[in-house]
Amino acid sequence: MGTLKTCAKPQSNNQTNKLSKRDRILTCRVSVGIRVEDGNNAEPRENHVIRMNVSGMHFSTRESVLCRYPDTLLGDIRRRKKFYCKDLDEYFFDRHRPSFEGILIYYQTGVLKRPEDVPLDVFVMELHFFDMGENVITQLLIKEGYFVPKKEKLPQTRIKRVIWDLFERPGTSTWAKVITTVSSLFILLSVTTSCVETLPQFHKSHHSHQSNSDTQVNATEGLANVTSGNIISRQDVASQNPFLCIETVCVIWFVAELGLRFYACPSKAEFSRNALNVIDFVAILPYFVTVVLILTETSEEQAALSLGALRILRLVRVLRILQLTRHVKAIRLLWITVYDSRYALLTLLLVMAIGIVTSATGLYITEQRHPDAAFPSVPHSFWKSVITMTTVGYGETDVISLGGKIVAVVCAVYGILIMAILIPTFVDRFGALYMSEIVNPYGEVLELTQKEKLPKRRKLRRRETLV
């Protein structure tokens, strides 16, 4: 059979990379059966069998099998050609032999499974070498029980990428870790201040025995004590209030951090919908309400109404403790575990609800005939059933009758069995996530699927000028 000749010039690497997946599949189908011996000559064959030598172990398969995945190393004829040995008429790969068995099975069946005698990190490195694709590797890691975070969107400009890494990705640099530590300290300081200022010794009250009594105002809220004959300047009280000064410093940091993160975020809409960002914004509002009340002269009645609203808003500041989930991986993994185990938890709640209603009804029936019974209705028995089933054992009511004691024992045993069956599912899931994310014995392998280079600065040519 004659030699297939071509006059077309070989495409450059850039042109090859620009080929769509459909074009690669068509190119691969056209070249099925073509035996590549050198860069210029090729001999056409149908159902051509390709022989591969992987560190001394020989494998054979049809070229049409490899062409099922044209984006991979073995499926791309141009990239595979550099491993071809003309003398031996085979492709030679100096790679891990047991791992290649699993890779070849994936080409043949479409199912990727790690061989039992191959470590996970070695197998993943081989998948990267043969360019099996990020999706294939991610699915393998998930199947192995590892937590692979979704690939997050990153800012496109360099300055925004730097800011985003500093405030959102503490593992990228030392300065990012420093900023994360400082932010966590400010959160703890703010929450501690919100709790300590509620102690009685920090309250300034003024009691009056007359009908036109003085208005008691909490000094920590930055308002003055208003009396019938004397009004103390709110600004003076605010300047003398250490808690308000500490809160001012914390809010300055939180506002600056929230503003920079909003400026550098890749998507303003997703940033605004994020629950933690909403909590950040809401937790700052009580401070500005306090400042408005301080700077606004109001009457006693208006000050009292503002004081009530301010006390409610002050409770919102405690939600700032949830911001620590952004910086502590273990807490974030706990929320992920709750979400992943939501069906098991719903099953647990449903089974417990059945037991609570049944045992509460039994307590009511067995105890209602006793004169000293503490369960006048089924809803009154719910609390006793809950603390018995969860083995807490705390309550101010006791079971008196023999039938009630039998129901309580059955309820306690039922609760222990339910907890022992369903809780390990939640614990095992958290342990697997913790091992893969915190301990992470294959950390370098997992990072390979998430690597992205920082955008480089565009260099101006000599004749270019900035407008």
* Domains defined along the chain, listed by start: 17-143 (3.30.710.10), 171-323 (1.20.120.350), 338-448 (1.10.287.70)
C-alpha dist (Å) from residue 206 to 203, 213, 294:
10, 9, 19
Which of 118-127, 430-439, 456-465 has the largest mean confidence? 118-127
Average pLDDT over residues 415-433: 84
Amino acid 100: pLDDT = 92
Average pLDDT over residues 16-36: 46
Which of 1-5, 142-146, 331-335, 396-400 has the largest mean confidence? 331-335
Residue 382: is its pLDDT beyond 60? yes
- Four-residue CA torsion sign, 400, 404, 410, 416: negative
Q: Which has more confidence, 146 or 53?
A: 53
Amino acid 44: pLDDT = 36
Average pLDDT over residues 267-277: 87
Residue 290: is its pLDDT beyond 50? yes
Average pLDDT over residues 260-271: 89
Q: What is the DSSP letter of 81?
A: G
Amino acid 193: pLDDT = 85
Amino acid 279: pLDDT = 84
Amino acid 192: pLDDT = 87
SS3 label, residue 28: helix
Q: Which has more confidence, 323 or 420?
A: 420
Amino acid 456: pLDDT = 46
pTM recorded for the entire structure: 0.57
Amino acid 326: pLDDT = 76
Which alpha helices (DSSP H) does 341-438 contain, by range? 342-367, 378-389, 402-434
Show the tokens assigned to 260.
């920079």
- Among 102-111, 146-155, 218-227, 425-434, the range scoring the smallest mean pLDDT is 218-227
Query: Closest by alpha carbon to 193, among 117, 148, 244, 156?
Result: 244
Residue 86: is its pLDDT beyond 70? yes
- The pair phi, psi for residue 205, each rounded to 5°, is -125, 150
Amino acid 262: pLDDT = 92
SS3 label, residue 58: strand
Query: Closest by alpha carbon to 149, among 460, 433, 416, 358?
Result: 433
Which alpha helices (DSSP H) does 329-374 contain, by range? 329-340, 342-367
- Among 89-98, 306-315, 418-427, the range scoring the smallest mean pLDDT is 306-315
Query: Closest by alpha carbon to 319, among 280, 369, 264?
Result: 280
| Cβ partners under 8 Å of residue 424, min gap 6 | none
Average pLDDT over residues 253-273: 90
User: pLDDT above 70 covers what percent of the chain?
Assistant: 69
Amino acid 243: pLDDT = 80
| CA dist., res. 391 & res. 411, Å (int) | 10
Show the tokens assigned to 152.
């997050």
Q: Which has more confidence, 175 or 147?
A: 175
Cα 173–chain centre separation: 20
Q: Is 33 left (phi over 0), alpha (psi -120 to 50) or beta?
A: left
Cβ density class 85-103: b for 16+ within 10 Å, e for less: eeeeebbebeebebbbebb
The per-residue pLDDT of the chain, averaged, comes to 74
pLDDT in tens, 317-350: 777 787 777 777 777 788 888 888 888 888 888 9
